[in-house]
Amino acid sequence: MIKLSITILLFITYIHSYVLGFNNPSKDKLLIEIVSYVLNKGHYSPSQINDQFSEEVYKNFLEGVDSRHLFFIQSDIDFFDSFKFKIDDQIKASKIEFFDLSHQRYLQRLDQVKSFYPSLLNISFDFSVDEKINLDFENTSYSKSLSELKKQWRKFLKFNALGIFSNLKDDENRKKEKDPKYVLKSDKEIEIETRNVLKEDMKYFFEARYDLNRNDYFSIYVNSIALQFDPHTSYFAPSAKDRFDQNISGKFEGIGARLTKRNQEVEIVDIISGGPVWRENSLRPGDKILKVSQMNKTPVDVVGMRLDDVIKLIKGPKGTQVILTVKKVDGSILDVTLTRDIIELEEAFAKSTIIEKDNIRYGLINLPRFYVDFQDYGNRNAATDVKYEIQKLKKQDVQGIIIDLRNNGGGSLQTVVDMAGYFIENGPIVQVKSTGGKKQILFDTDNQIEWNGALVLMVNEFSASASEILAAAFQDYRRGIVLGSKQTYGKGTVQNMIDLNKIISGNTYGDLGAMKLTTDKFYRINGGSTQLEGVKSDVIFPNRYSYIKVGERDQENPLKWDKISPANYQTFINEERFLSIIEKSNKRLESNPYVKLIDEQAKVIKRRQENSEFTLNYEDLIKEKAIENSETEKFKKLTEFTNTLTFYPTKMDLDKILNDSILVKKRKRWEETLSKDIYIDEAVNILSDLSKVSVNYKKIAQTSK
């Protein structure tokens, strides 16, 4: 991530003195004042806070709290409407009257619904009635009264019940097929079982909502304001900031277990390989945590406690100890002492594999994110890890490398610049325009090249931000072929994290959280922005998301596309050779029967996604399922595809994997997935074509003046 611009630093200094002595009894009001100031002074393209802004905040907040219209009724909306064009004034005056009133009303409705929904589940559902439900909530009116809301809830419950009923019926039929002597349950018995299952599901549904406190809802309100600036500017409450840091770095300090909360109990659902819980080896998924205590302190009963609060008790600095009182799956209760450590989420890090075809070896590097430790860039990061993976592949004489950026949503900008430098001798990588219009070109200045051979980048609609920078740079240099969806996500903006606690003196309100603020736009070295447009693949290979709206252009309030002057650079391969390789690939795809099938499947998925009306009649559901199954059968061939490639780990990885049974299973699962991946098949074909072309990838690119 690039450093804060001078503008940001100046406004931080200003607000530091501006808030000094601010003596508002409400932390929320203080937060609104700071957030609105940060947005207006630090955002790359700040929005005008006016009546139109107010109306959008109003709509976004109500949608954020009650997106399915299951709690508010029309009289609530009529009451709230008086604030529709006043929220802008309230923001400027640091008032939160609209939030307070709407939050109070929501809690009131939540209690009312919780009190009446059980009675709806005490009455049998008649799945023979010709009835439908419309799930297009954006264009659906609110219920006019509580009695109408009950009717809406009956439909909502019946819709969920029908899915359970259908699955239970299918289970019964499978049992009968397996054992002809099996006596099928009656529809009445299955319907009763259905409601019992749904009662449990709804208990968890409401448990999750009551687990949220005022701060959680206020975060929704603040983010309704931030969203009006652009889709990637957002407020992070303290716990959300911790999760963001963990996600971007791929590591955290703790015990190495993933937890969930069900029926007021905290349950272990997964154990992270290599962590304290894994090493201690006495806990298993399904075990329930009853109490948490720090060394020499009284245990804290965590049953009924918010999951975030339980996690705070369990997490802690490396080397410290925590004692868990655990109820095992067999009912026994024991105390387990764990020494906290740094947990690395291996699935978040770069990994590689050898691909062999016709006795020729190629390499694949999978990169889920451009991760970094912002506190210590020298620590593990995406760039250094990719460099290490390249070195491992080179030792096994691979003839080409695939970098898989599919579903990579981005991350650290600096790691992209460093990583791009592994494939060119030197030159510009990306251009950045900051708040205030200042332009900067980020260069690779290291003449060392880690890989000078054939290169393919795999992308899809979910490859965003930093992924698009790397793909754009390689495409502009003609350094490699970009294979994937028609275009990438289209996020051409850069965000900086602003710690709100560091911009106020004398804060007595506790942790205020942070703002992720859009402060820059980045541009390709050819001058064009990737904003909205993304990176258009050199070789377009359709996928199931080809016709679904998932990109930046489909988000609310995206920044506009534009362009600036290009940097000076030279391509590595002449256009004729480059296009000839693309043409070969396109011809292969044209004759590939799977390509047409994938495109047809994508159109079916789009049609199904656009449908918002669903039947509540079992017989109609069976007919619809039959049609869907017929369509699905047509596409079954796609699931049966297996490429002719062989995958195996590098020699350096093999010893590490063999010493860890969990890693063995994960590796086997990954290789099985790769063997079913039709896109990798074509990527290897392109590598084969590229490796036959004589290209001087060591040529020094011209630097920008």
Q: Tell me the β-bridge partners of 428.
A: 443
Q: Where are the alpha helices (DSSP H) in 618-700?
A: 618-634, 636-639, 651-658, 661-675, 678-691
Tally of CB atoms within 10 A around 597 = 17
Average pLDDT by consecutive 10-residue portion of the chain (705 residues)? 38 37 60 93 94 97 95 97 96 94 97 97 96 90 96 96 93 92 95 95 90 91 96 89 66 82 80 79 86 86 82 88 87 87 80 96 96 78 96 96 95 93 94 88 92 96 96 95 97 92 74 92 96 97 90 93 93 84 96 93 90 94 90 86 95 85 84 95 95 63 39
pLDDT in the model for residue 696 = 59
Neighbours of 225 (CB within 10 A): 26
pTM of the model: 0.84
Q: In the block, which residue shows the tokens 């957002």?
A: 234
CA distance 461 to 547: 10
Q: How many whole angstroms separate alpha carbon 180 and alpha carbon 321?
A: 56
Residues 6+ apart with CB under 8 A from 626: none
DSSP state of 567: P
Distance CA 65, CA 551 (A): 24
Q: Of 113, 348, 145, 152, which is closest to residue 246 (Cα–Cα)?
A: 348
Cβ contact 698:452 at 8 Å: yes
Residue 322: beta bridge partners?
294, 338
Terminal CA-CA length for the chain: 24
| Residue range(s) occupied by CATH 2.30.42.10 in the chain | 251-344
User: Residue 440, Cβ neighbours under 10 Å: how many?
Assistant: 13
Give domain 346-573+644-691's CATH architecture: Alpha-Beta Complex (3.90)
Query: Using alpha carbons only, what angle is made at residue 651 by residues 649 and 652, rounded to the nearest 5 degrees?
Result: 100
Per-residue tokens: 372:
């970094």
Q: Which CATH class is domain 251-344?
A: mainly beta
Per-residue model confidence (pLDDT) at position 463: 95
Residues of the chain with CATH 3.90.226.10: 346-573+644-691
Three-state DSSP class for residue 465:
coil
